[in-house]
């Protein structure tokens, strides 16, 4: 099942890039395009294949193991933040107001959060022990719970950003029913479940990593497929 979902997510990623190729000429489509690119990047860096293909060269360059997973997590935060921006744009017609609100609600927290996550990662055994799946490193389980703190902080940050988006997507779905809004809503919810499952696997004795990646592939399909569907609907409405 996981191989089927993996193959399907790869197909959707390629299809989404192809379908959205013409959207690059339009400034207002920058947000959805960034969602697609950051979701693809997060998947590549967090996957087993990424750990093998990218993790070893990064270790040779920096001396840190699993740095590719940290990069993937940052890209996941960027993906979530971009969705928040796209949703905010539906409620703010003025670019200046939109920029100020996004900076206050998302930009400032991420400015402090990402360096803190990196500091926790650097101090944890996650940067010293190689694993094809970062969540299999486990917690530090010692005096300093750096890796546990890393996973919990990452999940809380995603819950904060995605929670804001989910709440406002519900409003949009109620006022302006749309398949695109519904798909974004489902994808954001699945992403929260995905990272929650990863955190449970990483910091407890419950082994739910394989289940988490089933959710993860569905998330990738949602993050890449939804902007493609949105663009196709927009093009169709203009013809």
> d(Cα 175, Cα 235) in Å, to the nearest integer?
23
Per-residue pLDDT of 164-210, as tens digits, reads 999 999 999 988 889 999 999 999 999 999 999 999 998 888 888 88
pTM passes above 0.85: yes
Q: pLDDT tens across 42-100, in order? A: 999 999 888 889 999 999 999 999 999 999 999 999 999 999 999 999 887 677 788 88
pLDDT for 135-150, tens place per residue? 888 665 654 589 999 9
**Cα within 13 Å of Cα(219), Cβ side:** 24
CATH classification of the domain holding 29: 1.20.1070
pLDDT for 19: 87
Say what the alpha-carbon torsion angle 65, 199, 150, 124 is, to the nearest 10 degrees: -40
Total domains in the fold of the chain: 1
Whole-number Å distance between alpha carbons of 139 and 130:
14
Give the range of the structural domain holding residue 129, as residue numbers without chain letter.
2-238
**What is the token pair recorded at 155?**
């999940």
The residue among 156 and 236 whose pLDDT is bigger is 156
Q: For the chain, what is the largest distance between any 2 Cα atoms, rounded to a whole number of angstroms?
A: 63
Report residue 98 as tokens.
Answer: 């939109």
Question: What string of DSSP letters covers 152-164?
Answer: HHHHHHHHHHHHH
User: Angle at the Cα of 191 (from 188 to 193), degrees rounded to 5?
Assistant: 115
Sign for the CA dihedral angle at 77, 80, 84, 89 comes to: positive
Residue 221 near residue 9 (C-beta atoms within 8 A): yes
* Phi (first) and psi of residue 26, to 5 degrees: -115, 120
Task: Tell me how far CA of residue 59 lies from CA of 55, 69, 72, 117, in angstroms.
Answer: 6, 12, 15, 18
């Amino acid at each position: 099942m996981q191989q089927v979902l993996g193959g399907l997510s790869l197909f959707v990623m390629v299809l989404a890039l192809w379908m959205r190729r013409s959207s690059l000429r339009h400034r207002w489509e920058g947000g959805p395009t960034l969602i697609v690119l950051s979701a693809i990047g997060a998947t590549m860096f967090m996957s087993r294949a990424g750990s093998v293909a990218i993790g070893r060269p990064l270790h040779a360059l920096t001396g840190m193991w699993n740095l590719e997973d940290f990069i993937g997590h940052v890209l996941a935060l960027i993906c979530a933040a971009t969705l928040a921006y796209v949703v905010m744009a539906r409620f703010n017609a003025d670019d200046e107001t939109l920029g100020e609100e996004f900076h206050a609600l998302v930009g400032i927290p991420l400015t402090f959060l990402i360096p803190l996550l990196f500091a926790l990662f650097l101090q944890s055994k996650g940067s010293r022990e190689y694993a094809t799946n970062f969540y299999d490193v486990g917690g530090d389980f010692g005096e300093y719970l750096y890796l546990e703190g890393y996973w919990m902080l990452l999940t809380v940050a995603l819950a904060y950003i995605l929670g804001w988006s989910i709440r406002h997507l519900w409003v949009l779905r109620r006022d302006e029913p749309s398949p695109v809004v519904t798909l974004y809503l489902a994808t954001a919810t699945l992403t929260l479940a995905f990272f929650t499952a990863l955190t449970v696997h990483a910091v407890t004795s419950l082994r739910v990593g394989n289940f988490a990646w089933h959710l993860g592939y569905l998330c990738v399909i949602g993050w890449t497929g939804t902007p493609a569907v949105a663009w196709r609907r927009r093009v169709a409405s203009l013809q």
